[in-house]
Structure 1
């Protein structure tokens, strides 16, 4: 059984809820009067729990198989977003969205471990798994914005339905995994070699820098473009550009190698992010798309590079590259919101330009994993 399509569908479902949180932001501003700092705190809630808990799940999946985490975590992610829209206080909203982040944290390490086994180490197949998550991000504003525009935040409980459907779709892949090899065999499937912690640490910092700029854009680009339909279009362009970037990154990596592709992507991201801030009117949409493509081209490459830098700890590598390092960018979102309130939103977004530059500089210190068998 080819489990990658089912795992990709599950990845799309759970990452829909990561994209749903930024899509909620304009409605939280319009219906509840939240300011920039308040809504950036909601975005922080979605990422903080992932940042803290995801490495723990990664360590656990290196020791034990826990495929049951996949459907459970999907439902938790959906239930948190659904509850966040109808919570009657800021604290309860924050806690509900944090619960959603916990579900996302539990999902990624185990699903990436299964995807690694199902893909037999193929970077192309892993890119399809990553693409599923990107498409989930892209579909969030298309699903969330029309629903809430018609019926308001009170309609948010309906947002749990994709989680239930996604959990059902992934059950055959989970059953196939349960019938497959044990945890020891699963851990032996990745390419053998020594764990290269220095390179993995630098890669993690690259992903953190990428996360800061991407989470900052996803949290505020809808408001920057005027909210409403214009804001929804901006989010869709941002998220859909990620799908293009994921596919493009896999193709370029096959030709040029993963590290070189990553360097080129971050070099291109610097002027693209600058264009979002500097381009007038509708031209900004072009640079939003370019930024997303450039920031997502190395996304699946981060995952396979991390797993190859830590071949003995695939779950840990997956938890960090798909979770912690990505989520930690949300920790910077309140600072972006504070700059926006102290100055302007344009000034706050301009501060993001430095982060792809830092990612490019650090990526220049990385080399392709040696992948030598351990002695």
Structure 2
């Protein structure tokens, strides 16, 4: 098949769908980010230690991870375009329950509901971002993820402006965001049949034009997925040290108030939003493996300096570190999709679920270390985590990386 025919059969990029998907991701992750953003208030109200704070994160992350691969496998065989709407119902109920929780047990149940909502949302939303990409997969995943990262960054801002002055019950007000997200997701679900049909037709034409292209061997797939999972763990363990404990670090070491520490956390998380978009776009041009190398191993000098920096340079370094490190996720996700192109739902569920699960495990471990050695010591220990990026050497060379633009 000629290049002209392949070009004509290439599906168009559904920019409106991608933008709305990014907006729903923003709302979903904003509601999730209210959990760690409210930790200082919850800790004071219930007299919690760092281990209990870490267990809240673990409960939320495990609930948000275990179900995602299952949902992805099911929707690979039986597409469910409206399943993210159902997921938002769990998130809504969890937020309301958390707002009026009066015990540590109810807090754990509430965050588990929010995690389940997220686990239902991500696999199908990831599939739609892939289908609507029109071949611009890095851009599409970057745009989708920039919504999630921006939502995560806004959590501390809302915590500083609303939750701190109005208290825990104000969390119920954010349930309105779940209702807005449900309406947007219902519209996206109505577009899926047309977009998926166009994607399938273009993919069939692309295969006809590349006869003889071998599928990846079981060894290549297995090796690639194991390396990607280990890279994800190193990235998430370092990132979770900021999401769960950065405000405590700033308050303990530099004497910042809760609102000031929350605003610093917002700036840090905002860098993630920029990083994932840049990483997705650049990955379309230079290849996924190169971006993974740069983003995982690249921040190492900065992470080693961070624990010894003053307040100003702490802010600068954390932004630079997260800007570089966040650029990895879009490339890791797309790399995995290229390993298993027929399992988009499974890959989306596995790697978003992995993102949650590994983050939760890391939070629990870091909570124990923070109680025993102090928060500052945790950042010194975590500064060596980017060394795991050396494992990128073992990533298989994919056809798509060999023919980047």
Q: 1:62 aligns with which of 72, 76, 79?
A: 76
CA distance in structure 2 between the partners assigned to 1:326 and 1:270 by the alignment: 23
Q: What's 2:215 paired with? A: 194
Say whether residues 1:352 and 2:373 are aligned partners: no
Q: State the SS of the aligned residue for 1:162.
A: helix
CA distance in structure 1 between the partners assigned to 2:171 and 2:22 by the alignment: 24
CA distance in structure 1 between the partners assigned to 2:271 and 2:108 by the alignment: 28
Say whether residues 1:29 and 2:58 are aligned partners: no
CA distance in structure 2 between the partners assigned to 1:187 and 1:45 by the alignment: 41
1:329 Cα deviation from its structure 2 partner: 2.1
Q: What's 2:155 paired with? A: 140
Contact 2:142 2:278 in 1 (8 A): no
CA distance in structure 2 between the partners assigned to 1:183 and 1:319 by the alignment: 23
Q: What's 1:269 paired with? A: 299
Tell me how large the CA RMSD over aligned residues is: 2.4
Contact 1:187 1:314 in 2 (8 A): no
CA distance in structure 2 between the partners assigned to 1:131 and 1:159 by the alignment: 20
Q: 1:76 aligns with which of 65, 90, 95?
A: 90
Q: Highest Rg: 1 or 2?
A: 2
CA distance in structure 2 between the partners assigned to 1:356 and 1:190 by the alignment: 41
1:216 Cα deviation from its structure 2 partner: 2.0
Q: 2:57 aligns with which of 25, 37, 43?
A: 43
Residue by residue, what CA displacement relative to the aligned partner does 1:227-274 show, whole Å, maximum 9, x if unpaired? 502220221022101012112213432443221121111222223333
Say whether residues 1:369 and 2:383 are aligned partners: no
Residue by residue, what CA displacement relative to the aligned partner does 1:273-321 show, whole Å, maximum 9, x if unpaired? 3343221223211111112112211121122111111112111111122
CA distance in structure 2 between the partners assigned to 1:35 and 1:16 by the alignment: 25
Q: What's 2:239 paired with? A: 214
Q: What's 2:145 paired with? A: 130
CA distance in structure 1 between the partners assigned to 2:246 and 2:199 by the alignment: 45
Residue by residue, what CA displacement relative to the aligned partner does 1:16-75 show, whole Å, maximum 9, x if unpaired? 133222101111112222111111111111101122111111111211111111122123
Contact 2:66 2:353 in 1 (8 A): no
Say whether residues 1:106 and 2:120 are aligned partners: yes
Q: What's 1:260 paired with? A: 290
Give the total of aligned pairs: 371
1:185 Cα deviation from its structure 2 partner: 4.2
1:164 Cα deviation from its structure 2 partner: 1.1
CA distance in structure 2 between the partners assigned to 1:32 and 1:24 by the alignment: 12
Contact 1:58 1:318 in 2 (8 A): yes
Range with greater deviation from structure 2 (339-348 or 200-209)? 200-209
Contact 2:303 2:384 in 1 (8 A): no
Label 1:15 to 1:316 Cα distance change in 2 as closer, same or farther (>3 A): same
Contact 1:83 1:156 in 2 (8 A): no
CA distance in structure 1 between the partners assigned to 2:233 and 2:101 by the alignment: 31
CA distance in structure 1 between the partners assigned to 2:270 and 2:167 by the alignment: 24
Q: What's 1:235 paired with? A: 265
Q: What's 1:297 paired with? A: 327
Contact 2:96 2:172 in 1 (8 A): yes
The two structures have a TM-score, normalised by structure 2, of: 0.85
CA distance in structure 2 between the partners assigned to 1:63 and 1:317 by the alignment: 13
Contact 2:30 2:155 in 1 (8 A): yes
Q: State the SS of the aligned residue for 2:67.
A: helix
1:3 Cα deviation from its structure 2 partner: 1.2
Contact 2:67 2:353 in 1 (8 A): no
Contact 2:64 2:356 in 1 (8 A): no
